[in-house]
Amino acid sequence: MSVVMKFGGTSVADPDAIERLIAIVRKERAPVVVVSALAKVTDELVAVAGLAEAGEAVRAAAALQQQLDRHLAVATAVTTANREQTLAHVRAEFDELIGLVHALAVLREVSPRSLDAVLSIGEVVSSRIVAAALADHGVPAEWIDARSVLVTDAEHNGAAPDMEATRARVQASVVPHTARGGTVVLGGFVGSTGGGLTTTLGRGGSDYSAAIFGASIGAREIQIWTDVDGMLTADPRVVPKPRLVPRLTFAEASELAYFGAKVLHPSTILPAVDRNIPVRILNSRRPDNPGTLIAADSAAAGGPLAALACKRDVTVVDITSTRMLMAHGFLRRLFEVFERFKTAVDVVTTSEVSVSVTVDDTRRLDAVVENLQHFAEVSLEPEMAIICAVGENLRSDPTLFARAVTSLGCVPLRLVSQAASRRNITFVLRDGDVPQAMAQLHEAFF
């Protein structure tokens, strides 16, 4: 059985990184390799789309020329026999992109659909370069356009996969290669609707692509190769020296990813759980390290908690209504507003006359507030954050909750909740207090 190996942006950033990738992929028989865009490329394409929207055609074109030059330089360095063909492919993709962006700049309009067309190029060209480099280094690699196999709905910028349709296409186009012992290379993050429009799975979505392909081939393992040793006990950008978490259950990993552990896209675990495929997070700079193994029956962490995660810059929405007193149907009405404007809420707490929720994506919050105000008073508190402590042991050891709260000392807490699964404790606090709160919790538990 094949494995799926996903390499993130930093793991394909430059020729050295691609050489390391080749050494890692070479050791597997018939893997499916999923790659992100080269490091920072998606951010830069987002910026190009912003320039187009502002009508800055010249600056957008200059930025794309720089991108093209970078890709040509990387492709030249990692290929030999396949060089000319690869450079031609890269140029052709960019030619088309430059034309598209020019048109968008003239119109000064970038719809979600157009944005997907722009962003998708990062993964299309990186995967072409990696496939050619592998082949030139003696690995029998075949490039397959992910847009022709990963079928999604039309929810641009955050599309959901059609697992049935994708599986059928993967079985028809990917599996024949791996069955013969070949390596298949696909771009992550991108797909297309049944009607053939390019879509993306949302930022960080290459992990999700890897899991979707993993489920579609019935992989032995889904490997997420990145720039850290695995899932760490806290975000290394917030807590100075977090430790490696060697094992996690699917449920623990899902909670951590959902509440901000960026190393794993929040949807990655779902397809893996459905087919019970273990997920391993590994460091492409230190391929011999064991990494983190995520599986259904992964033994609970050695310590009391598995890890901490935090989601920065969220908004708390307080909804108060005296009419809520004893009124059934109030919550339905309230959440119906959030649903109508496709705004997800993360943490919810209620009292008799008020409900507080946290919102991460504030793009449609003005409309939400306006509609809530038809039947309640609403106030917003921006610059808040969520900290989530996760571990299966929270279920069996009731003292952990008190320990966590105590460790936070005098950090002011806005909301506290423990879900029914009792696998996590969630704190909502001021964003500015996150570093101190994370440090204190980390000190207390790890």
Q: Which residues bind ligand ASP (CB under 6 A)?
A: 8-9, 36-37, 42, 122, 188-189, 203-207
Choosing from 122, 158, 204, 291, the residue that interacts with Mg ion (CB under 5 A) is 204
Cβ nearer to ligand ASP, comparing 217 with 263: 263
In the numeric block, which tokens belong to residue 306? Answer: 């598995």
* 232 contributes a contact to ligand ADP by CB under 6 A: yes
Q: At what angle do helices 57-78 and 41-53 cross, to 10 degrees?
A: 160
Choosing from 235, 252, 255, 433, the residue that interacts with ligand ADP (CB under 6 A) is 235
Number of residues that bind Mg ion (CB under 5 A): 2
Pairing mode, strands 183-187 and 292-295: unpaired
Which residues partner with 35 through β-bridges? 7, 187
- Taking a C-beta distance cutoff of 8 angstroms, is the pair 38, 9 a contact? yes
Choosing from 40, 169, 262, 403, the residue that interacts with ligand ADP (CB under 6 A) is 262
The CB-nearest residue to Mg ion is 204
Cβ nearer to ligand ADP, comparing 35 with 368: 35
User: Could you tell me the maximum CA-CA distance found in the chain, to the nearest angstrom?
Assistant: 74
122 interacts with, out of Mg ion, ligand ADP, ligand ASP, none, CB within 5 to 8 A per kind: ligand ASP
Choosing from 33, 273, 307, 386, the residue that interacts with ligand ADP (CB under 6 A) is 307
* 266 contributes a contact to Mg ion by CB under 5 A: no
Which amino acid makes up residue 349? T
- CA distances, 217 to each of 147, 200, 221, 305 (Å): 17, 21, 11, 34
Which of 9-17, 43-51, 343-351, 361-369 is the region at the interface with ligand ADP (rule: CB under 6 A)? Answer: 9-17
Query: What sign does the CA torsion over 355, 270, 131, 8 have?
Result: positive
199 interacts with, out of Mg ion, ligand ASP, ligand ADP, none, CB within 5 to 8 A per kind: none
CB of 39 to ligand ADP, least distance (A): 7
* 230 contributes a contact to Mg ion by CB under 5 A: no
Number of residues that bind ligand ADP (CB under 6 A): 20
42 interacts with, out of Mg ion, ligand ASP, ligand ADP, none, CB within 5 to 8 A per kind: ligand ASP
CB of 311 to ligand ADP, least distance (A): 10
- Residues 155-194, one symbol each (x = binds Mg ion by CB under 5 A, - = not), give ----------------------------------------
CB of 36 to ligand ASP, least distance (A): 3
* 204 contributes a contact to ligand ADP by CB under 6 A: yes
CB of 394 to ligand ADP, least distance (A): 17
d(CA 53, CA 33): 34
d(CA 244, CA 274): 26
* 10 contributes a contact to ligand ADP by CB under 6 A: yes
86 interacts with, out of Mg ion, ligand ADP, ligand ASP, none, CB within 5 to 8 A per kind: none
* 237 contributes a contact to ligand ADP by CB under 6 A: yes
Cβ nearer to ligand ASP, comparing 113 with 203: 203
- Taking a C-beta distance cutoff of 8 angstroms, is the pair 336, 309 a contact? no
Which of 163-178 are b and which e, b meaning 16 or more Cβ less than 10 Å from the residue's Cβ?
eeebbebbeebbbebb
Q: How many Å separate Cα 79 from the centre of its chain?
A: 29
* 226 contributes a contact to ligand ADP by CB under 6 A: yes
d(CA 388, CA 427): 6
* 391 contributes a contact to ligand ADP by CB under 6 A: no
CB of 201 to ligand ASP, least distance (A): 8
The residue ranges that bind ligand ADP (CB under 6 A) are: 8-11, 36, 204, 226-228, 231-232, 234-237, 261-263, 307, 309
